[in-house]
Amino acid sequence: MDDHRAWAESEFGDADFGDVRLTYRLVRMAARAGKNPRGVVAQVFKEGAERQGAYDLLGNGRVSSKAVIAAVGSATARRCNDDETVRLVIDGTSLSMADKANTKELGSVGAHKFRTRGIKVVNVYAVDQRGVPVGLLDIAAWRRKKKTKKAGRFVRRRDGKSEMACHWCPALETAVARLQEVRPGARPWIIGDRECDDARFLRLANSLGTFTVRAAQNRLVEPQRGRKRKLFSVARAGRSYGTRVVDIPATPMRPARVATLEIRVATTKVLLPLHDNGGHRDPLLVSVVYVREVGRVRGARLEWILLTNAPVESEAQADEVVASYRARWRVEEYHRAWKAGACDAEATQLRSFEAIVKWFTLLGTVASRAERIKQLSRSEPDALASIELADVEIVALISAKRLIKNSVEKVPNGVPTLEVATRWIADLGGYAGHYKGYKPGATTIMRGLQELAIWTQAATEFMTKGEIKRRLR
């Protein structure tokens, strides 16, 4: 069994459709998508019979998208560790798709003035304490039936039918339940951006575990001496916990820089609306961690107001809250690799809503694997590549690298480190490495894995297991 097949079996082998043949076909589809990730089905499956089988499975009503997502979530939960904190990063995004004839089962996305169509998605992404992605715990997807103007960014429906109540909160509940069912000793730490500054979400997250949410609304907090107070003023007047010097990575919009962050902490009760006709509010005890970049800054200055129910009574605890929120960037990187990059999920030409959800779930697991390899190579560069790659893949990678190396590079036998192996995979994917400070991204890693799959198949067919073992000594 090649490594892509073993990976697909671990991700989708538990999918229950009432027929093992359907599960077997799904595993084969996932293995092929892992070898050749593309947004268009016809570009992944080149042979006519294989392509038709993929379309048949995606259109089969017995293969539900919920069962596919459940299999992926269970596989992610198994990779988590007991007795450790697992950061559950929840974030929403939109997949915009071409539909000029208005014949696909899509809804409106984006601003009201644009006639963009697509699907709304909320992902619950598991990240370990090192900042390394573990995988997807749950996916919620829906389509808006009709585009309507919004009265304001933070106007909430009081009938319990808002997107937060119907999709975000159920996705979080499902993810936590799935994690605790498989890993009862794991401690969920829920992380959300400003979209999650919602009364329903905050109350739910508080009941499920520890949370860190970036504040977006200047809420009322408990009064002091009979005077009303607002959240932002309380945060900025909090107790100082010193400054930290951190590296801000480069993005397409800004260069890398070293930032000095001032941290202040306050403890208060935010007054959350109950969404009833009486206008009542429910107090929630939180620690408010205020993070602001100080000194001379080129461009936008970093400023976060973080709400958390974790105790913050020391500098170490304050640093842990800030580190938890910084883990949110992992889901942004995943979205970029999934929607664009090599997976290019938005390029799909499928028409059925169910088929689209099943297909982008397969592509999402491929993108998640590439992101995991990327982050592992950065957080544990000296670890052996065997923790993520099979023996036959390592032998194939060494052979492939020897053909494209320059005259001064040396490619010895034996198991390379994860950092070296990731760089070699990226080289296969076309990584040039001209710019200092940049490391291989998920797109070049996925392209490299695609090339590596061809070499791995050849090594599997023409080399014995004994010969593979001898080359790794």
Decide which of 2.60.40, 1.20.58, 3.90.550, 1.10.740 is the CATH code for 380-471: 1.10.740
Is residue 107 packed enough to be buried (19+ CB in 10 Å), middle (13-18) or exposed (0-12)? middle
Task: Tell me the mean pLDDT in the region 30-34.
Answer: 90
Q: What does the pLDDT look like over 165-199, one tens digit per residue? A: 899 999 999 999 999 999 999 999 999 999 999 99
Q: Is the pLDDT of residue 449 over 90?
A: no
- Domain(s) labelled CATH 1.10.740 in the chain stretch across 380-471
Higher pLDDT, residue 277 or 144: 144
Could you tell me how far CA 419 lies from the centroid of its own chain? 21
Lowest mean pLDDT among 69-73, 353-357, 439-443: 439-443
Lowest mean pLDDT among 71-85, 244-258, 415-429: 244-258
Task: Tell me the mean pLDDT in the region 125-136.
Answer: 93
Residue 451: which pLDDT band, with cuts at 50, 70 and 90? confident
The residues, any chain, with a CB within 8 Å of residue 155's CB and separated by 6 or more, are: none
Angle in degrees, 0-180, between the axes of helices 3-12 and 65-79, rounded to the nearest 10: 110
Higher pLDDT, residue 353 or 440: 353
Question: What pLDDT score does 246 carry?
Answer: 81
Q: Which two tokens stand for residue 168?
A: 């975000």
Question: What pLDDT score does 274 carry?
Answer: 84
Angle at 9 between CA 6 and CA 13, to 5 degrees: 165
Looking at this protein, which amino acid is placed at residue 33? A
Q: What does the pLDDT look like over 384-410, one tens digit per residue? A: 888 888 888 888 898 888 888 887 888
Higher pLDDT, residue 437 or 206: 206
The CA R_g of the chain, rounded to the nearest whole Å, is 24
Distance in angstroms (rounded) separating the CA atoms of residues 210 and 460:
46
**What DSSP string describes 259-315?**
EEEEEEEEEEEEEEE--STT--EEEEEEEEEEEEEES--SSPPPEEEEEE-S---SH
Q: What is the pTM of this model?
A: 0.88
What integer best gives the mean pLDDT of the chain? 88
Higher pLDDT, residue 454 or 77: 77
Q: Is the pLDDT of residue 41 over 90?
A: yes
Number of H helices, E strands in the chain: 16, 12
Q: Nearest Cα to 415, choosing from 452, 436, 446, 386?
A: 386
What is the CATH number that goes with domain 212-325? 3.90.350.10
Question: What pLDDT score does 1 carry?
Answer: 45
- Domain(s) labelled CATH 3.90.350.10 in the chain stretch across 212-325
